[in-house]
Structure 1
Amino acid sequence: MLKRLAHVTLYVHDCEDALRFYTEKLGFEKRMDSRMDDGSRWLTVGLPGQELEIVLHDPTHWHREEVAQEMLRQVGKNPMWVWHTDDFWSTYETLRQRGVEFVSEPNEVMYGIEVIFKDLYGNRFLLLQQVFL
C-alpha cells in the first residue's frame, strides 16, 4: 500500500543554477548531492523540517539522448504547486527582496491571501496563507 510521497522531480537545464535558486532565494536546504562516474547527479532539496524532497533533475546524463531531450522540453512546464506560509506578508517581502519574480499581485480571497511566483525556468508556484472558514 502507498505510504507517503517522498520525492517530486523538477527537470532543470543546470543543477547548479537550480540549487542556488531554491536554496538562496526560496530558503530550501540541500539534502543529497551525489555525482556518478558517468556525469549524472542525484541532487535533492527540501524545506527545513519537511520530509518531502524535490529532485533537481538534469536528464542529460541519466537517459538516452531522445528521452533526455523529451524531458528537457518539459523544463518550466511543471503543474503549479501550492506552498503554505503562516506569515504571508513577511514571506512575500523576503522572496521579493531576494529577486523572486511574481506574476501576479497579492490577492485576498475567501480562503486566504495568495500570490503566484515563478522559478528560474518559469515553473509557477502559489504562495498561500490559508484562513480557515
Structure 2
Amino acid sequence: MLKRLAHVTLYVHDCEEALRFYTEKLGFEKRMDSRMDDGSRWLTVGLPGQEIEIVLHDPTHWHREEVAQEMLLQVGKNPMWVWETDDFGSTYEILRQRGVKFVSEPNEVMYGIEVIFEDLYGNRFLLLQPVFL
C-alpha cells in the first residue's frame, strides 16, 4: 500500500535561481544536490522538520528535446499549493521583506487568514493560518 508522498516536482528554467528563491526567500533547506556526468541534476528542497521534498527539475538535461520543451511550457503553471503557518502576521512580513510577490491582500475567511503569493516563475501558492471549525 501507499505509505507517504515523498517528492513533488516543480519544473524550473534554472536550478540555481530556483534554489536561491526557495531557500533565501521562503526559508526552505537544500536536501539533495547530485550532479550527473551528463549535466543533469537531482536537486531537492524541503521545509525544516517536514519530510516531503520538492524536486527543482530543469528538464533540459534529463529528457529528449521534444519532451523537455513540453515540460518547460509548464513552468509557472503548477496547481496552487497551500502552505500553513501558525503565525500569519510574522510569516507574511518576513516573506514581504524578502521580496516575495503577493498577488492578493491578506484576507480573513471563515477557515482562517490567507494570502496568495507567487514564486519566481509565476506558480501561485496560498499562505494560510487555519482556524479549525
- TM range, normalised to the smaller chain? over 0.9
Q: Secondary structure at the match of 1:24?
A: helix
Matches within 5 A, 1:94-109: 94-109=94-109
Structure 2 residue aligned with 1:45? 45
Identity in percent: 93
Q: Secondary structure at the match of 2:99?
A: coil
TM-score by length of 2: 1.00
Where does the alignment leave 5 or more consecutive residues of structure 1 unmatched? none
Q: Deviations over 1:93-120 (max 9, x none)?
A: 0000000000000000001000000000
Matches within 5 A, 1:83-94: 83-94=83-94
TM-score by length of 1: 1.00
Q: Secondary structure at the match of 1:116?
A: strand
**Residues of 2 paired with 1:132 and 1:71: CA distance?**
38
**Residues of 1 paired with 2:104 and 2:96: CA distance?**
12
What is the CA-CA distance between 1:25 and the residue it aligns to? 0.1
Q: Secondary structure at the match of 1:18?
A: helix
Q: How many residues in Structure 1 have an aligned counterpart in Structure 2?
A: 133
Q: Cα RMSD between the aligned structures?
A: 0.3
What is the CA-CA distance between 1:132 and the residue it aligns to? 1.0
Matches within 5 A, 1:1-133: 1-133=1-133
Q: Deviations over 1:18-40 (max 9, x none)?
A: 00000000000000000000000
